[in-house]
Structure 1
Amino acid sequence: MTDTQRRGRRIMMTQGELDAFLAGQRTCRVATVGGDGAPHIGALWYVWDGTALWLYSITRSKRWAQLRKDPRLAVVVDDGHDYGELRGAELAGRAVFVGEAPRTGEPCPELDQVERLFTQKYFGLEEMPHDGRHAWLRLTPDTFASWDFRKIPG
């Protein structure tokens, strides 16, 4: 991933911190672009594999339809209650559809690790429960920014 963050270098996360943060959080907010140019934002569960954010989305959603027309998206993952605890990351790029849609469990080697990580993270299971309503989107970020206000002195 290319580091495109210029401002806030004091508070940006290192690659190790970013990997741990993204792996540990549960929910992200995904912004897509509608036909009229207006953003649509919704929450999703995801998995971070160290290079890409994998989003598990309902295929009959507004998000899915918008990404089919315009694959640009931005994702924010954040955490913290008090100002000095705030931390997060914003990733942007283009969605890539991976596997069948909706996902029914047909063999797809590219999804083996992703589905294992997802299932362990959210369900504590070893095997992915496919519901025939969701499918996978991959975001390999073109740009990103991160912040960790815990790094601000005082």
Structure 2
Amino acid sequence: MTIAQLRGRRIMMTDAERNTYLTEQRTCRVATVSPEGMPHVGALWFVWDGSSIWLYSLTRSLRWAQLRSDPRAAVVVDDGEEYGELRGVELSGEVRFVGEIPRTGEDCAELDHPERMFAAKYFGLDSLPHDERHAWIRLTPQAVRSWDFRKLSGPAQ
């Protein structure tokens, strides 16, 4: 997925760098907005499949309620301590809810791959146990921005 980024071309991640980064990172921040226009940002675990970010969210959360009301969201994955180490990706667009709500484990071919990735990444398991409190949100971004400030001082490490 090649997406044009108008500013910051020098520090922009390549497609391969972005895919590797999103696959390796563990926590994202999801931004939503209430019907009254109040923003909300919360941390969440995720998996990246190369074209979409999959969020496994509590269905009784403010994030869930706000996304049901307004499916627009922005997700940021970032890291780094010092200025020259900062890097991250921002994905934005409209979310789609996938599978039953809450997730009980019914057959859903679209969730086979994300659930296997999530189970392996966070629990070291082959399959995801379902607690009937979470469900899946898929964001296939309409806009992507990335940055890797390590590129300012030479090759990325």
> Normalization by structure 1: what TM-score?
0.98
Aligned to 2:38: 38
Secondary structure, in 3 states, of the residue corresponding to 1:118? helix
Gaps of 5+ in 1: none
How far does residue 35 in structure 1 lie from its aligned partner after superposition?
1.2
How far does residue 153 in structure 1 lie from its aligned partner after superposition?
2.7
Q: Distance in 2 between matches of 1:22 and 1:141?
A: 13
Listed as ranges, the matches of 1:78-97 within 5 Å are 78-97=78-97
Deviant stretches of 4+, over 4 Å: none
How far does residue 3 in structure 1 lie from its aligned partner after superposition?
1.2
AA matched with 1:19: N
1:100, 1:135 within 8 Å by CA — same for their partners in 2? Answer: yes
1:29, 1:75 within 8 Å by CA — same for their partners in 2? Answer: yes
Change in CA separation of 1:4 and 1:36 when aligned onto 2, cut-off 3 Å: farther
Q: Distance in 2 between matches of 1:100 and 1:22?
A: 26
How far does residue 2 in structure 1 lie from its aligned partner after superposition?
4.8
Q: Distance in 2 between matches of 1:114 and 1:141?
A: 16
1:2, 1:142 within 8 Å by CA — same for their partners in 2? Answer: no
Q: Across the two proteins, how many residue pairs are aligned to each other? A: 154
Q: Distance in 1 between matches of 2:43 and 2:5?
A: 24
Q: Distance in 1 between matches of 2:119 and 2:47?
A: 10
2:84, 2:153 within 8 Å by CA — same for their partners in 1? Answer: no
Listed as ranges, the matches of 1:4-23 within 5 Å are 4-23=4-23
Among the aligned pairs, what percent are the same residue? 68
Aligned to 1:53: 53
Aligned to 2:110: 110
Gaps of 5+ in 2: none
Q: Distance in 2 between matches of 1:59 and 1:124?
A: 24
How far does residue 4 in structure 1 lie from its aligned partner after superposition?
3.4
Per-residue Cα deviation, 1:50-94 (whole angstroms, up to 9, x for no partner): 000000000011111111110000000001111111100001000
Secondary structure, in 3 states, of the residue corresponding to 2:153? coil
1:2, 1:143 within 8 Å by CA — same for their partners in 2? Answer: no
